Amino acid sequence: MIVIMKPTAQPEQIESLKKELEGLGLQIHFSQGMNTTLMGLVGDTTRIDIGKIASMDIVEEVKRIQEPYKKANRKFHPADTVIKVGEATIGGGGFAVIAGPCSVETPEQICAVAQAVKASGASLLRGGAFKPRTSPYSFQGLRGEGIQLLLEAKKQTGLPIVTEIMSYEDIDLFEDVDVIQIGARNMQNFELLKRVGRLNKPILLKRGLSSTIEEFLMSAEYIMAEGNEQVILCERGIRTFETKTRNTLDLSAVPLLKKLSHLPVIIDPSHATGIPWMVEPLTLAAIAAGADGVMIEVHNDPPKALCDGAQSLRPEQFDALMTKVKKTTAFFQTL
Ligand code: PEP
Ligand code: MN
């Protein structure tokens, strides 16, 4: 971090700021110009409040040189984080496929979809029990009962389950859930992030609708700073001016996140586009971009789905997609 002092700053004021910063465990290096003094702060500046320094009368400007996230940063952890969930592995070179309906609806529906996606080669089952819906009048999910149905589907297929938590009040219901999802709308629910950060369970963190990459990584940092380093990043499309697709899939987020962070990165082409026929090309594009996996909505009877039927693949479409996923991942492994 660099602090640029105002030309009017007096030596004793500069010395007093230096002492204050040294008290925070930082080393201070000075660069003296004709009119300006620059202070270089060396050490862990993640806990420094930039605004507080910038608001001092003697300070012209403060610039961060290093990213404000440390635990999620690849610079401090060069090796890929590999997350093991049951038999499944996310990160470290493979391509994990999470599939299932938007919402858990009935025992027949979730078990039929679980069996179908397992047979096609999915390694984890998704399904929403607590649903963040735009309208309070829309189906809100089966809540605790939905989680019980997911556990039944897990028993039948052996697939680990991924489901979203919306409020920490419900945490007891998630005891046997394998991966807890934090949805796009809660990406900056910092209290929720801190609470799941104290769990010993992988967290699938979805990018907020209009969040920058840095904000996304800072949310991962919130979880990791509490001790839980098992975070999976999910790019699920961001809000842009485009209306032809539900969101805009930011595919450049994949190589960017992989460069900046060691955490596994997956994409969700279902929510990113809202269009079932776009799921396949974007899944293949995600493999090419270096993603560690994908999360896809699959429903056994999309027109009757209680949520997001229009973007869901039918099991046979998912099966055809999986054939291409296998060929494409095998091809990329030869490069
Ligand atoms: C979901 O995955 O079910 C979901 C609601 O996604 P998002 O939070 O990305 O909108
Ligand atoms: Mn959905």
Residue type for position 320: A
Query: CB–CB of 138/305 below 8 Å?
Result: no
Q: Is the CB of 281 under 6 A from ligand 1?
A: no
C-alpha 227 to ligand 2 mean position (Å): 29
Strands 124-126 and 88-90: unpaired
Provide the whole-model pTM.
Answer: 0.94
- Atom index in ligand 1 nearest the CA of residue 268 equals 9
Across 258-269, average pLDDT:
98
Q: Does 164 lie in the same domain as 20?
A: no
Q: Does 243 lie in the same domain as 140?
A: yes
Q: Give domain status of residue 191, yes or no.
A: yes
Query: CB–CB of 310/274 below 8 Å?
Result: yes
C-alpha 271 to ligand 2 mean position (Å): 6
Q: Please calculate the CA angle 153-158-159 and round it to the nearest 5 degrees.
A: 75
Nearest listed ligand to the Cα of residue 302:
2
pLDDT at 74 (0 to 100): 97
Query: CB–CB of 105/111 below 8 Å?
Result: no
pLDDT of 35 > 90? The answer is no
CATH of the domain at 31: 3.30.70.1140
Question: For the chain, what percent of residues have pLDDT higher than 70?
Answer: 100
pLDDT at 38 (0 to 100): 95
Question: Measuring CA to CA, how many Å separate 314 from each of 146, 163, 280, 290, 325?
Answer: 21, 20, 12, 26, 16
Q: Is the CB of 100 under 6 A from ligand 1?
A: no
pLDDT at 66 (0 to 100): 87
Q: Does 145 lie in the same domain as 36?
A: no
Q: Does 287 lie in the same domain as 151?
A: yes
Q: Give domain status of residue 77, yes or no.
A: no
How far is the C-alpha of 172 from the C-alpha of 154, rounded, in Å?
A: 18
Q: Is the CB of 271 under 6 A from ligand 1?
A: yes
Q: Does 178 lie in the same domain as 92?
A: yes
Residue nearest to atom 4 of ligand 1 (CA): 183
pLDDT at 171 (0 to 100): 98
How many Cα atoms are found within 13 Å in the side-chain-facing hemisphere of 302? 18
Q: Does 106 lie in the same domain as 45?
A: no
Report residue 201 as tokens.
């369970």
How far is the C-alpha of 314 from the C-alpha of 277, rounded, in Å?
A: 11
* pLDDT tens-digit series, residues 58-80: 999 999 988 999 999 999 999 99
Q: Does 54 lie in the same domain as 186?
A: no
Nearest listed ligand to the Cα of residue 272:
1
Q: Which of 168, 112, 113, 164 is nearest to 143 (CA)?
A: 164
pLDDT at 30 (0 to 100): 93
pLDDT of 307 > 90? The answer is yes
* pLDDT tens-digit series, residues 232-254: 999 999 999 999 999 999 999 99
How far is the C-alpha of 97 from the C-alpha of 237, rounded, in Å?
A: 18
pLDDT band at 16; cut points 50, 70, 90: very high
Q: Give domain status of residue 98, yes or no.
A: yes
Domain hosting 50: range is 2-63
Q: Does 108 lie in the same domain as 57?
A: no
Q: Give domain status of residue 276, yes or no.
A: yes
Query: CB–CB of 139/121 below 8 Å?
Result: no
* pLDDT tens-digit series, residues 101-131: 999 999 999 999 999 999 999 999 999 999 9
Q: Is the CB of 102 under 6 A from ligand 1?
A: yes
* pLDDT tens-digit series, residues 118-169: 999 999 999 999 999 999 999 999 999 999 999 999 999 999 999 999 999 9
Q: Which of 133, 271, 299 to mutate to test the pocket of ligand 1 (most atoms within 8 A of CB)?
A: 271
Q: Is the CB of 184 under 6 A from ligand 1?
A: yes
Q: Does 206 lie in the same domain as 143?
A: yes
Across 257-280, average pLDDT:
98
Q: Give domain status of residue 73, yes or no.
A: no
Q: Does 97 lie in the same domain as 25?
A: no
Q: Give domain status of residue 68, yes or no.
A: no
Residue nearest to atom 6 of ligand 1 (CA): 183
Q: Which of 329, 299, 330 is nearest to 316 (CA)?
A: 299
Q: Does 105 lie in the same domain as 56?
A: no
pLDDT at 108 (0 to 100): 98
CATH of the domain at 96: 3.20.20.70
pLDDT of 47 > 90? The answer is no
Q: Give domain status of residue 240, yes or no.
A: yes
Q: Is the CB of 206 under 6 A from ligand 1?
A: yes
Q: What's the number of domains the chain is made of?
A: 2
How far is the C-alpha of 236 from the C-alpha of 216, rounded, in Å?
A: 12
C-alpha 259 to ligand 1 mean position (Å): 25
Measured from the Cβ of residue 106, the count of other Cβ atoms closer than 10 Å reads 11
Q: Give domain status of residue 151, yes or no.
A: yes
Q: Which of 110, 162, 164, 245 to mutate to test the pocket of ligand 1 (most atoms within 8 A of CB)?
A: 164
Report residue 260 as tokens.
């900046």
- What φ, ψ does residue 176 adopt, rounded to 5°? -100, 10
Q: Does 181 lie in the same domain as 55?
A: no
DSSP state at residue 246 = S
Residue type for position 327: K
C-alpha 161 to ligand 2 mean position (Å): 16
- Atom index in ligand 1 nearest the CA of residue 131 equals 5
320 CB-contact burial (10 Å; exposed 0-12 / middle 13-18 / buried 19+) = middle
